[in-house]
Amino acid sequence: MDPRVTFRLYVTIGLAVALIGALWALADGSASAGPGGHATADAKVAGIAEVAMPQTATSLPSVQLHATAASNPCAQTPVQQALASGGDDAVVAAFGGGAAFRAAVAAGNAPCIDLSDPHRDWVVVNKARPLSPVTFAPTSFGDPALSVDGAGSLRSDTANALNQLSAAADAAGVGSVALASGYRSYDTQVQTYSGQVATYGQAQGDALSARPGHSEHQTGLAADVVSCAGGCGDIDSFGGTAAGAWVAENGWQYGFIVRYVAGQTPITGYDPEPWHLRYVGVPLATAYHDGGFATLEQFFGLAAAPAYLG
């Protein structure tokens, strides 16, 4: 036999013997580890792995921490601080912007965001989601610079945003925009809804006006507007005006979306209302516009609400 082959054979046998000896030594040394003084093979393998891979073991908590933060932005300190400060735009920014905020909420990864909180820009009110409490009223009010008689007020930040939108529309040459109907209290909504039902019947009344406690107008975030180019018109004609077209295209820049658009009645439960603007804040309105969304229900991954639950 070739001496070189013989040498390799002896080396291999020697290594095998050494390995067997090491395993026997490990078994003897850990005999007290298992029940009755006998260690299992799994325990031996686990012991070897723990010694051989300390770097992987110590890096796991860090990896898990980052994964948790990514799946639940609410666990991040900037988000918690923004929520505590009360600034809605700051909260959205802490999530990484409107698109990231929307994605987290729609995916169910943001338990700190309550879409039922009527104090927040992101509240969703529809036929399946009444206000809580049902008699909610905003804590701050402001009067827009331009409004028609009996229009009422809006939440103060919404009134300021409408002033900016109106001025921009006027500067664009389409005429200013005035508030025709703003905040409605629960009691007022009782009267409005009852009047629609008395005039048109229950089914049509439900398509034209929200039941008390289900109205966006009760949040102070909704504004029915009219065009005031050469005199203020009425809400029914707004969609056919230059101002109506301009608002539909540019309202998002001032934090507004057109809440009830054509083709979405099966989701919103309402006939199209090009005059009904809903303030959600500039970051969310931007994500809404950029994402091509047509309803808040779609935006936040909520079920359609074509009819009342009871």
pLDDT tens for residues 6-19? 444 444 445 454 54
Cα–Cα distance measured from residue 189 to residue 213, given in angstroms and rounded to the nearest whole number: 8
- Whether the pLDDT of residue 211 is over 80: the answer is yes
φ, ψ of residue 253 to 5 degrees: the values are -65, -15
Q: Which residues are 222's β-sheet partners?
A: 278
For 202, the token pair is 């229950």
Tell me the pLDDT of the chain averaged across its residues.
83
Selecting among 50, 216, 249, 273, the annotated active-site residue is: 273
Question: Roughly how many angstroms between the first and final C-alpha of the chain, as a whole number?
Answer: 95
Q: What DSSP line would sit under the chain, residue for residue?
A: --HHHHHHHHHHHHHHHHHHHHHHHHHHHTTTSSGGG---HHHHHHHHHHHH-HHHHHHHHHHHHHHHHHH-GGGSHHHHHHHHHT-HHHHHHHHTSHHHHHHHHHTT--TT--TT-TTSTT---BTTB--SSTT---S--B--SSB-TT---B-HHHHHHHHHHHHHHHHTTS-EEEEEE----HHHHHHHHHHHHHHH-HHHHHHHSPPTT--GGGGT-EEEEEEETTS---GGGGGGSHHHHHHHHHGGGGTEEEEE-TT-HHHHSS--EEEEEEE--HHHHHHHHHTT---HHHHTTPPP--S---
What does the pLDDT read at residue 207? 76
φ, ψ of residue 260 to 5 degrees: the values are -120, 100
Percent of the chain at pLDDT above 70?
77
Q: Which of 25, 23, 43 is nearest to 34 (CA)?
A: 43
Return the ∠ at Cα 83 (arms to 77 and 84), rounded to 5°: 90
Residue for token digits 């040459």? Answer: 173
Q: Is the peptide bond before 3 cis (omega within 30 degrees of 0)?
A: no
What does the pLDDT read at residue 70? 55
Instruction: Work out the pLDDT band at 203, boundaries 50, 70, 90.
Output: confident
273 is catalytic: yes
CATH code, 117-299: 3.30.1380.10
Cα–Cα distance measured from residue 51 to residue 36, given in angstroms and rounded to the nearest whole number: 25
For 304, the token pair is 């359609």
Where exactly does CATH 3.30.1380.10 map onto the chain? 117-299
What separation in angstroms does the CA of 55 have from each of 42, 48, 142, 233? 21, 14, 60, 72
| Rg of the chain (C-alpha set) | 32
Among 12-16, 107-111, 144-148, 222-226, whose mean pLDDT is lowest? Answer: 12-16
Q: How confident is the model over 114-131, as pLDDT tens digits?
A: 999 999 999 999 999 999
Q: Which residues are 187's β-sheet partners?
A: none
Give this prediction's pTM.
0.77
Among 2-11, 45-54, 147-156, 162-171, whose mean pLDDT is lowest? Answer: 45-54
Q: Which of 31, 55, 52 is nearest to 43 (CA)?
A: 31
Burial degree of 63 (CB within 10 A; 0-12, 13-18, 19+): exposed
Pick the residue with more confidence: 190 or 42? Answer: 190
